[in-house]
A = this chain, B = another copy of it.
């Protein structure tokens, strides 16, 4: 699997390299414990070390690799780590939803509605890349609504990683058939209804359930990648 070109428009070489390596780490092509050298990667991508350094720093700040004296060592993203990533996503969205004023809900729900429409369209067009992107947009839109600088920065620090995980899981969901795709869309509709209701307790319940469900889906679609090691 390759990283979608469309997601790299206008990006620097460094960002491109980071995205490629990130995908390799998440998909398991590169395994935990592997060592990455700047020269090696530069040779692989046919660039100088400068963009590679930028990429490694990015991946390090995302917690995917650890920069050491000699070489960067891959931390990786096994089932446990993905679960932990979803812990944080839940923390963020739970916090954010508790902060969204009832006032904003109206305008917000219109935007979210349109994103869900785009997800449906992408589903019909069998376009997992676009689908994953809209899925990400849905959650990002909600998070942005809180207008909380630190939460937003926190989201930015895991955004690319979440995007990559979504890309992989969405590919699998699409491969498993139409009803799985529809189920994902339905989950977002349930979230949206919660926001529309304006009832804080109801919202929290639905967010909680969304991520519980997601975790189950994850356990179902990711682990077999681990087992064939």
Residues of A whose CB lies within 8 Å of any CB of B are 53-54, 57-58, 61-63, 75, 80-81, 84-85, 87-88, 91, 95, 148-154, 156-158
Contact = CB atoms under 8 A, between A and B. Distances in A.
Nearest to A88: B150
Chain A binding surface SS class: helix
Contact of A154 (B75, B88, B152): B88
A156 B63 contact: yes
Given A53-B54, A81-B149, A84-B149, 17 more contacts: A61-B61, A61-B157, A62-B153, A63-B149, A63-B150, A80-B149, A84-B148, A84-B150, A84-B151, A87-B95, A87-B150, A87-B151, A88-B150, A91-B91, A91-B95, A150-B158, A153-B157
Contacts of A53: 54
Nearest to A148: B84
Contacts of A95: 87, 91
A53 B81 CA distance: 30
Nearest to A90: B95
A136 to B, nearest CB: 18
B88 A151 contact: yes
Interface centre among A75, A85, A150, A152 (most CB of B within 10 A): A150
Chain copies in the assembled complex: 2
A76 to B, nearest CB: 10
A84 B147 CA distance: 10
Contacts of A154: 88, 154, 157
Contacts of A57: 54, 57-58
Contacts of A84: 148-151
A95 B84 CA distance: 12
Interface centre among A61, A87, A149, A157 (most CB of B within 10 A): A149
Nearest to A77: B149
Nearest to A156: B63
A10 to B, nearest CB: 10
